[in-house]
Amino acid sequence: MIPRLKGTDDILPPESARWRRLLRGFDDLAARYGYDLVLMPVLEATELFARGVGADTEVVQKQMYTFEDRGGRSVTLRPEFTAGIVRAYVEAGGTGVMKVAASGPQFRYEQPQKGRRRQFHQVDLEYLGEPGPRADIEVIEMSHRLLAEAGVPGITVHLNSIGDASDRATYRDLLRDFLHGVANELSPDSRRRMDDNPLRVLDSKVDKDVVAAAPVPLDHLGAETAAHFAAVRSGLDAAGIGYEIAPRLVRGLDYYNRTVFEVFSPAFEAAQSSLGGGGRYDPLGELIGSRLPVPGVGVAMGCDRIVAAMPDLESPRLDVFVAVAGAAREDVASSWVRRLRAEGLRVDWAGGDRSLKSQFKAADRSGAAAVAVIGDEWERGEVRVKSMATGEEVTMDIEEAVAWLHR
């Protein structure tokens, strides 16, 4: 027996039922907001993430699955969607607005624990080509709505603005000065970062107390970024989406500017508890070689964590389980099952070579709302139908039974 690799999961029934609900919900949500489907390569050139995500980030330095392929190129299993999607937009000669939704596995070599896997699944939304706050508002609203519709309780949005590069030039000096002042108290990681990447020190978990008094980007926004952030806030207010300002939230990747956010729920408690996060990444396109700027906002939601925060639904898995009395009625049953499925009902059956008792057991296990028995009555144009919820059993005309099953 060869077991699965550490940090990877087999997602099997019955747990996979919640996955199906989440992924369908995501697909439906994306369609309602006008996001088209994109299917992205799992393998990308390592350079894409090194330049896009940032060579000094945790993801690139410590977590990528990078290897040389047989042609001697350095390739990487994608650790995230955004850089690949922006690459695809630029490569396709993208201009104007493109709103897309993607879903699939990501790979990061992490220390596995609850909610922190080496292969994990994300659903992702990207709103490209829109510099205005409408994109930020829409993406945050959708992140909230995805969770709300999945039944995740107590959703909290943490929101911040980290400004533009021009706002940050003076701010970084202030922050650096502050960090140098407290350097003795900082962790080695933060001390190493404080000159090249001081912003990252702000959301360091280990240095939380030391940086509590640090200056924050929000207090140093330029007029334009401040107005952008104010518009995002009032848009969220108008959408009825509550949020908390999180002045030290910067997110770990280099490509963000202006709006950044994360989404939490108390239903998922773990060391790493964010269910999703994203923000605006206007600098990303040029970081990966686009001649034109590519304004955009996106979010990636972690499905493994969301599913763990979703309630189990008691709703039946099938509309009807069809039981067959006697192998001789197998063909009749088979074509009736086909008809019901073609009409959109969720139907399963076990076949007439098994005893009715064993078929009823299978029906019970199947989580069907009803059982329909094809027996002697069939010859008179009737079928016996039993509601699993009430135990009530009625013999009905076949067409009547079909209508009843559809209700």
Where do contacts with ligand AMP occur on this chain (CB under 6 A)? Answer: 80, 108, 110, 115-117, 120, 122, 274-277, 300, 302, 304-305
Shortest Cβ 159–ligand AMP spacing (Å): 14
- Name the residue nearer to ligand AMP (CB basis): 54 or 276: 276
Shortest Cβ 279–ligand AMP spacing (Å): 10
Alpha-carbon gap, residue 260 to 247, rounded angstroms:
10
Shortest Cβ 133–ligand AMP spacing (Å): 21
Q: Which two tokens stand for residue 264?
A: 């939490």
Please check whether residue 384 is in contact with residue 372, taking contact to mean a CB–CB distance below 8 angstroms: yes
State the DSSP H helix or E strand holding residue 106, giving kind and residue range, or none if neither: strand 98-107
The residue of the chain with the least Cβ separation from ligand AMP equals 302
Please check whether residue 250 is in contact with residue 162, taking contact to mean a CB–CB distance below 8 angstroms: yes
Determine the 3-state secondary structure of 368 from DSSP. strand
- Name the residue nearer to ligand AMP (CB basis): 110 or 397: 110
Shortest Cβ 302–ligand AMP spacing (Å): 2
- Name the residue nearer to ligand AMP (CB basis): 163 or 279: 279
Q: Of the candidates 134, 104, 126, which has an alpha carbon nearest to the alpha carbon of residue 35?
A: 126
- Name the residue nearer to ligand AMP (CB basis): 130 or 304: 304
State the DSSP H helix or E strand holding residue 156, giving kind and residue range, or none if neither: strand 156-161
Shortest Cβ 316–ligand AMP spacing (Å): 30
Shortest Cβ 296–ligand AMP spacing (Å): 15
- Name the residue nearer to ligand AMP (CB basis): 265 or 359: 265
- Name the residue nearer to ligand AMP (CB basis): 220 or 305: 305
Shortest Cβ 83–ligand AMP spacing (Å): 11
Please check whether residue 362 is in contact with residue 320, taking contact to mean a CB–CB distance below 8 angstroms: no
Sheet holding 257-264, edge to edge: 36-37, 98-107, 119-128, 296-302, 276-280, 257-264, 156-161, 244-245
DSSP 78: -
- Name the residue nearer to ligand AMP (CB basis): 59 or 370: 59
Shortest Cβ 337–ligand AMP spacing (Å): 39
Alpha-carbon gap, residue 238 to 175, rounded angstroms:
34
- Name the residue nearer to ligand AMP (CB basis): 79 or 352: 79
Shortest Cβ 88–ligand AMP spacing (Å): 18
Please check whether residue 340 is in contact with residue 351, taking contact to mean a CB–CB distance below 8 angstroms: no
State the DSSP H helix or E strand holding residue 304, giving kind and residue range, or none if neither: helix 303-309
- Name the residue nearer to ligand AMP (CB basis): 147 or 383: 147
Alpha-carbon gap, residue 323 to 325, rounded angstroms:
7
Alpha-carbon gap, residue 304 to 322, rounded angstroms:
34
Alpha-carbon gap, residue 252 to 264, rounded angstroms:
17
